[in-house]
Amino acid sequence: MRGSVFAETGKGPRRRLWVVLNALAGAVFVLAAAMGYFFVGDVLERIYTPSMRVHADFDTFWASSRALLDGEDAYQTGSEFANLNPPFWVLLTVPFAFVEPLTGYRLFVALMALLQAAALLWMLYELRPGGRVGPLAGALAVVALLVSSPLLATLALGQMYPVLALGLVAAWAWDRRDREAASGLALGLVVALKPSLAPVLLWPLVRRRRGALGAAVVSGAAATLAGAIVVGRGAAMGWVDLMLGTTANPYWDNASLPAAAARLFTEHKYGGSVAMLPGLVSVFGVVGVALVLVTAYRAQRGSEWALWALAAAALLASPIAWHNYLLLLAPGVLLLMGRGRAAIAAVLITLQLIPPQWPLLWQENATVGQAVGPAVAALALSLYLFVLLAHWIAFFAASAEVPEGATASGRTGEAYR
């Protein structure tokens, strides 16, 4: 393979970078462990509590599915939060509406944990031929990712991100085996469930995988149409209106570029700002789109990392990309490890271990936040943006490597497998 700044072999700058990355991973691990010591009880309590107010996302899904069964509008349920997920997801969650909400939540959480574990283990399985992940290292990485902050928070809220992670792994794995139709089918369903990930459709497009692209468009359109027909035209249009009204939420947990600009350069209720420059929200949005286009251009090389880089770029460009979305990229982190980039993979894994209580240290009424001032505190509250950026940079930089014999479509025969 051609060289990369993240390859962990050789001497000189690469060796120094390897040392720096390992030191950074160690420092972040210590930080995460120290915070975890104080907050692990709070994190686990959020999962085990019987309060459906804590499990707000699943409660919203349950209410939509229950409304559908009762012949009512699935998007006008009186829930505390609006259901921003498409009608197709309402169909998939109907089985949980046949039981009371708390029982449904517990069944749902067990399923999501299994799906995330399946996605990670599938990736490890795919990396066995020619991979550099030993049994112990692989087990430790999977365990760390299964207790990561994004996954635990996802389980507490009752969100559906493990479904998306498994879909991305399926698309990636089947593409490697030249099963274009199956790969496209998985990719299309991922986009149907989370339209903000639509940029991943550029992956088969720029690599001229016509079969995969066609299957993705057909499966995505079919799933979207099926959902719209079942929930009804009025409810479907209500969901469209909700999506069109979505803006860059400045809340701390929102890791996208437009959201970071809203948090850093506009007035909001979540804390101070660096400066009052509201026009930068649009600028950051344009930068996000540029990252998607640059990443898609790089994807023409047929790199193994292209799908994960595009997924990360899509999250950066979206108005809303909660920190919990990082679990979608966890299989890509295992890919970095499997291709000899253990140091950068360790940094990304340890960053995902930082508990969700991080913002509590930097609020305006917190001791640390008062000590450093509003501007520094605002930057610290945007940690999740920097974590998401780190994932994109790692995948994008690794995409500079092309397997020997690669073509523009990405086919490389056994050398790629």
Lowest mean pLDDT among 225-234, 304-313, 360-369, 388-397: 360-369
Q: pLDDT value at position 131? A: 62
- Collect all residues with Cβ–Cβ distance below 8 Å to 373 and sequence separation of at least 6: none
Spatial separation of the C-alpha atoms in residues 71 and 232, rounded to whole Å: 10
Q: pLDDT value at position 63? A: 95
Q: What is the mean pLDDT of residues 117-143?
A: 86
Spatial separation of the C-alpha atoms in residues 221 and 191, rounded to whole Å: 9
Asked whether 398 and 6 are in contact (CB, 8 A), the reply is yes
Confidence of residue 248 (pLDDT cuts 50, 70, 90): confident
Confidence of residue 138 (pLDDT cuts 50, 70, 90): confident
| Higher-scoring residue by pLDDT: 293, 5 | 293
Q: Which residue has the tokens 């979207």?
A: 224
Q: pLDDT value at position 356? A: 85
Q: What is the mean pLDDT of residues 198-225?
A: 96
Asked whether 384 and 323 are in contact (CB, 8 A), the reply is yes
Q: Which residue has the tokens 């089985």?
A: 95
Asked whether 57 and 81 are in contact (CB, 8 A), the reply is yes
Per residue in 327-338, pLDDT (tens digit) is 999 999 999 998
Q: What is the mean pLDDT of residues 122-139?
A: 81
Q: What is the mean pLDDT of residues 118-128?
A: 93
Confidence of residue 1 (pLDDT cuts 50, 70, 90): very low
Q: Which residue has the tokens 């016509």?
A: 210
Asked whether 299 and 399 are in contact (CB, 8 A), the reply is yes
DSSP state of 293: H
Please give the structure tokens belonging to residue 348. Answer: 């990304």
Lowest mean pLDDT among 117-131, 315-329, 394-408: 394-408
Mean pLDDT of the residues in the chain? 88
Q: Tell me: pLDDT of 325 over 90.
A: yes
Per residue in 7-54, pLDDT (tens digit) is 454 566 777 888 898 899 999 999 999 888 887 778 788 999 999 999
Q: What is the mean pLDDT of residues 377-406?
A: 82
Q: Tell me: pLDDT of 124 over 60.
A: yes
Give the residues across from 271 on adjacent strands: 268
Q: pLDDT value at position 178? A: 94
Q: Tell me: pLDDT of 401 over 80.
A: no
Confidence of residue 136 (pLDDT cuts 50, 70, 90): confident
Q: pLDDT value at position 267? A: 86
Catalogue the E-assigned strands of 324-409: none
Q: pLDDT value at position 404? A: 41
Confidence of residue 374 (pLDDT cuts 50, 70, 90): confident
Q: pLDDT value at position 5? A: 39
Per residue in 79-89, pLDDT (tens digit) is 888 899 999 99
Q: Tell me: pLDDT of 413 over 80.
A: no
Alpha helices in 49-100 (DSSP H): 56-69, 87-92
Per residue in 190-207, pLDDT (tens digit) is 999 999 999 999 999 999
**30-39 contacts at long range (C-beta below 8 A, 24 or more positions apart):** 31/354, 32/350, 32/353, 32/354, 32/355, 33/353, 35/354, 35/355, 35/357, 35/358, 36/353, 36/355, 38/357, 39/355, 39/357
Give the DSSP H or E segment for 191: helix 180-193
Asked whether 137 and 119 are in contact (CB, 8 A), the reply is no
Q: What is the mean pLDDT of residues 155-161?
A: 96
Q: Percentage of the chain with pLDDT > 90?
A: 65
Asked whether 351 and 387 are in contact (CB, 8 A), the reply is yes
In a 10 Å sphere around its CB, with 0-12 CB exposed, 13-18 middle and 19+ buried, how is residue 289 labelled?
A: middle
Q: What is the mean pLDDT of residues 277-290?
A: 94
Q: Tell me: pLDDT of 416 over 80.
A: no
In a 10 Å sphere around its CB, with 0-12 CB exposed, 13-18 middle and 19+ buried, how is residue 367 labelled?
A: exposed
Spatial separation of the C-alpha atoms in residues 333 and 337, rounded to whole Å: 6
Asked whether 201 and 214 are in contact (CB, 8 A), the reply is no
Spatial separation of the C-alpha atoms in residues 58 and 312, rounded to whole Å: 25
Q: pLDDT value at position 185? A: 98
Q: What is the CA radius of gyration of the chain?
A: 21
Q: pLDDT value at position 402? A: 52
Confidence of residue 174 (pLDDT cuts 50, 70, 90): very high
| Higher-scoring residue by pLDDT: 302, 177 | 177
In a 10 Å sphere around its CB, with 0-12 CB exposed, 13-18 middle and 19+ buried, how is residue 400 labelled?
A: middle
**CA 253, 255, 257, 258 torsion-angle sign:** negative
